[in-house]
A and B are shown apart, each in its own frame.
Chain A
Amino acid sequence: MVTFVLDGQTVTAEEGWTILDAAKYYGVDIPTLCYVEGLSPYSACRICVVELIRGKKSRLVASCSCPVEEGVEIRTKSPRVINARKMLIELMLASTPNSRLLQCLASEYGVTKIRFRPEDRRCILCGLCIRMCDEQMQGGAIGFSGRGVGREVSMPFHKTPEACRECGACLYICPVCELPCKGPLKPGELCNACLDTVQIDPFPSK
Chain B
Amino acid sequence: MVQMKFELMRDFVDDVVNRNAGQRSRLTAILHEIQKKYKYLPEQALRYVAEIMKIPISDIYGVATFYTSFSIEPKGRHIITVCMGTACHVRKSPSVLEEICRYLGVNPGETTKDMRFTVETVNCLGACAMGPIMVVDGSYYGEMDASKVVPILEKYKEEREIISVDPTGKITIPEELEAYRHFVKEKRYPNGTKSIDICCGPGCAALGSLEIADTIEAALKLHGLDGEIIVRRTGCRGFCERGPIVVVKPEGIFYNKVSRKDAPSIVERSVVNDETIEPLLYEDPSDGKKYLREEEIPFYKKQKMVVLANNLEIDSCSIDDYIAKGGYGALRKALFEMSPEEIINEVEAAGLRGRGGGGFPAARKWRACRNARSIDGVKYVLCNADEGDPGAFMDRSLLEGNPHQIIEGMVIGAYAIGATNGYVYVRHEYPTALERITFAIEQAREKGFLGKNILGSGFSFDIGISQGGGAFVCGESTALMASIEGRIGEPREKYIHTAVRGLYLRPTNLNNVETWANIPIIINEGAQKFASLGTEGSKGTKIFSLVGKIRNTGLVEVPMGITLREIIYDIGGGIPNNKRFKAVQTGGPSGGCIPESLIDLPVDFDRLTEVGSMMGSGGMIVMDEDTCMVDIARYFLEFLGDESCGKCTPCREGLKHMTEIVRDICQGKGTMDQLDTLEELAAVVRDTSLCGLGQTAPNPVLSTITYFRKEYEEHINLKKCRAGVCKALITYRIDPGLCTGCMKCLKSCPVEAISGERKEPHIIYNAKCEKCGVCFDICQYDAVIRE
A residues with CB within 8 A of B: 41-47, 49, 59-62, 65-67, 80, 83-84, 87-88, 91-92, 94-95, 115-117, 124-125, 144, 146-151
Q: Are A117 and B644 in contact (CB under 8 A)?
A: no
| Bound CA span A67–B654, Å | 26
Pair A151/B646 contact, Cβ less than 8 Å: yes
CB-CB nearest in chain A for B645 = A147
State whether the Cβ of B29 lies closer than 8 Å to any Cβ in chain A: no
Question: Chain B 638-674, CB within 8 Å of chain A: the 1/0 string?
Answer: 0001111111111011101100100000000000011
The B interface, classified by DSSP as helix, strand, loop or mixed, is helix
The chain B residue with its CB closest to the CB of A95 is: B653
* A–B pairs, 9, beta carbons within 8 Å: A44-B690, A60-B688, A62-B493, A83-B684, A88-B649, A117-B657, A124-B649, A125-B646, A147-B646
Q: Which of A66, A84, A91 has the most CB of B within 10 A?
A: A91
Interface string of B608-652 (1 = CB under 8 A from A): 000000000000000000000000000000000111111111101
Query: How many whole Å from B694's CB to the nearest CB in chain A?
Result: 10
- A67 touching B649 by the CB < 8 A rule? no
Provided the pairs A87-B684, A148-B644 are in contact, do residues A46 and B496 lie with their beta carbons within 8 angstroms? no
B485 to chain A, nearest CB (A): 16
Is B287's beta carbon under 8 Å from chain A?
no
CA distance A59 to B687 in the complex (A): 7
* Known pairs A46-B690, A88-B650 / 17 extra A-B pairs, C-beta < 8 Å: A41-B493, A42-B647, A46-B689, A60-B687, A66-B493, A66-B495, A87-B650, A87-B688, A91-B654, A91-B657, A144-B646, A146-B646, A147-B644, A147-B645, A148-B643, A148-B644, A148-B646
Quick check: is B680 within 8 A (CB to CB) of the other chain?
Answer: yes
A interface footprint on B391-419 (CB within 8 Å = 1, 0 otherwise): 00000000000000000000000000000
Residue ID in chain B nearest A43 by CB atoms:
B493
Closest 10 CB pairs of A and B: A151-B646, A91-B653, A87-B684, A116-B657, A148-B644, A148-B646, A66-B495, A43-B493, A46-B688, A65-B493
Residues of B within 8 A of A41 (CB): 493
Q: In B673-703, which residues have CB < 8 Å from any A CB?
A: 673-674, 677, 680-681, 684, 687-690
Chain B nearest Cβ from A84, distance in angstroms: 5
Give the distance in Å from the alpha carbon of A83 to the alpha carbon of B654 in the complex.
14
Kindly report which residue of chain A lies nearest to residue B684, judged by CB atoms: A87
Question: Quick check: A92 and B653 within 8 Å, CB to CB?
Answer: yes
Q: Which residues of B contact A144 (CB under 8 A)?
A: 488, 646
A44-B649 in contact given A84-B688, A147-B471 (Cβ < 8 Å): yes
B646 proximity list for chain A (CB < 8 A): 125, 144, 146-151
* Alpha-carbon gap, A144 to B488, bound state (A): 9
Q: With A and B bound together, what is the CA distance between A146 and B489 in angstroms?
A: 11
Is the pair B681, A148 in contact by a Cβ cutoff of 8 Å? Answer: no
Is A43 a contact partner of B690 (Cβ separation < 8 A)? yes
Q: CA A148 – CA B697 in complex, angstroms?
A: 14
Shortest distance between the CB of B163 and any CB in chain A (Å): 54
Are B496 and A67 neighbours in the complex by a CB distance under 8 Å? Answer: yes
Q: Is B157 an interface residue (CB 8 A)?
A: no
Nearest A-chain residue to B676, judged by Cβ:
A115
Q: Nearest Cβ in chain B — how far from A189, in angstroms?
A: 17
List chain B residues, Cβ under 8 A from A147.
471, 488, 644-646
A49 contacts across to B, CB distance below 8 A: 687-688
B772 to chain A, nearest CB (A): 28
Query: Which residues on the B side are within 8 Å of A124 (C-beta)?
Result: 649
Q: Does B758 contact A (CB under 8 A)?
A: no
Let me know if A46 and B650 touch, CB within 8 A: yes
Question: How many pairs of residues, A versus B, come closer than 8 Å at their CB atoms?
Answer: 96
CA distance A44 to B642 in the complex (A): 18
**Contacting residues, chain A, for B644 (C-beta < 8 A):** 147-149
Nearest Cβ distance between residue B674 and chain A, in whole angstroms? Answer: 8
User: Is B649 a contact partner of A91 (Cβ separation < 8 A)?
Assistant: yes
A98 to B495, CA, bound (A): 33
Residue of chain A at shortest CB distance from B640: A148
The reply to whether B495 and A67 contact each other, CB–CB distance below 8 Å, is yes
Cβ-defined partner of B492 (8 Å) among A43, A45, A80, A125: A43
Tell me the smallest distance from the CB of A53 to a CB of chain B, in Å: 14
Are the C-beta atoms of A148 and B496 separated by less than 8 Å?
no
Shortest C-beta distance, A116 to chain B (Å), equals 4
Which of chain B's residues has its CB closest to A33's CB? Answer: B649
Does B688 contact A94, Cβ atoms closer than 8 Å? no
- Complex: how many Å from CA A115 to CA B674? 8
In this complex, what residue of B is CB-closest to A152?
Answer: B646
Find the residue from B654, B660, B687 having the highest chain A CB count within 10 A.
Answer: B687
Q: Is there an interface contact between A43 and B652, defined as CB atoms closer than 8 Å?
A: no
Nearest-neighbor residue (CB-CB) of B653 within chain A: A91
Q: Complex Cα distance A66/B494, Å?
A: 9
Given A87-B681, A148-B643: A46 in contact with B653 (beta carbons within 8 A): no
- Minimal beta-carbon separation of A85 from chain B (angstroms): 9
A65-B493, A66-B493 known; A44 vs B647 contact (CB < 8 Å): yes
| Chain B residues within an 8 Å CB radius of A61 | 495
Contact of A148 with B649 in the complex, beta carbons under 8 Å: no
Whether A94 contacts B652 by the Cβ 8 Å rule is: no
Determine the residue in chain B with the shortest Cβ distance to A144: B488
Q: What's the minimum C-beta distance from B73 to chain A, rounded to whole angstroms?
A: 41
Cβ contacts under 8 Å, B496 to chain A: 67
Which of A46, A95, A116, A146 is the one whose CB lies under 8 Å from B648? A46
Instruction: State A87–B658 Cα separation when bound (angstroms).
Output: 13
Query: What's the Cα separation between A35 and B521 when bound, in Å?
Result: 48
Nearest A residue (CB) for B657: A116
When each residue 240-264 of chain B gets 1 if its CB lies under 8 Å from chain A and 0 otherwise, what string results? 0000000000000000000000000
A42 to B649, CA, bound (A): 12
From B471, B657, B677, B689, residue with most partner A Cβ within 10 Å: B657
In the assembly, what is the distance between CA of A151 and CA of B490, in Å?
12
Is B642 in contact with A148, judged by CB distance below 8 angstroms?
A: yes
Residues of the A chain whose Cβ atoms lie less than 8 Å from the Cβ of B677: 115
Do B648 and A44 touch across chains, with their CB atoms under 8 A apart? yes
User: Which residues in B have their C-beta under 8 angstroms from that of A60?
Assistant: 687-688
Question: Across the interface, do A62 and B690 meet the contact criterion of CB distance under 8 Å?
Answer: yes
Closest to B673 in A: A115
Closest to B473 in A: A147
Q: A46-B688, A91-B649, A94-B657 are in contact. Are A148 and B641 (CB under 8 A)?
A: yes
Contacts of A92 in B (CB 8 A): 649, 653
CA distance A185 to B676 in the complex (A): 27
Mask for B489-517, Cβ within 8 A of A = 1, else 0?
Answer: 00011011000000000000000000000
Q: Restricting to B513-535, which residues have a CB under 8 Å from any CB of A? A: none
Give chain A nearest CB distance to B340 CB in angstroms: 29
Judging by beta carbons under 8 Å apart, are B645 and A148 in contact?
yes
Residues in A with CB closer than 8 Å to B657 are: 91, 94, 116-117
Q: How far is the CB of B304 from chain A (nearest CB, A)?
A: 34
| Chain A residues whose CB sits within 8 angstroms of the CB of B687 once the complex forms | 49, 59-60, 80, 84
The answer to whether A88 touches B660 (Cβ under 8 A) is: no
Cα distance, A59 to B695, chains bound together (Å): 12
CB A88 to nearest CB in B, in angstroms, measures 6
B674 to A, closest residue via Cβ: A115
Q: Indicate if the CB atoms of A117 and B660 lie closer than 8 Å.
A: yes
Q: Which A residues touch B681, using CB under 8 A?
A: 87
Q: Which residues of A contact B488 (CB under 8 A)?
A: 144, 147
Residues A87 and B680 in contact in the complex (CB < 8 Å), given A46-B649, A148-B643: yes
Q: Kindly state the separation between the CA atoms of A49 and B684 in the bound complex, as whole angstroms.
A: 11
Nearest CB in chain A: distance from B369 CB, A: 19
Among B471, B648, B673, the residue within 8 A (CB) of A45 is: B648
Partner of B652 from A65, A67, A87, A149 at Cβ < 8 Å: A149
- Residues of B with C-beta under 8 A to A46: 648-650, 688-690
Bound-complex Cα distance A83 to B660 (A): 21
Q: What is the bound-complex CA distance between A62 and B648, given in angstroms? A: 11
Q: Which residues of B contact A146 (CB under 8 A)?
A: 646
Q: How far, in whole Å, are A52 and B524 apart by their CA atoms in the complex?
A: 42
How distant is the Cα of A47 from the Cα of B649 in the complex, in angstroms?
Answer: 9
Of A66, A88, A149, A150, which is within 8 A of B688 by CB?
A: A88
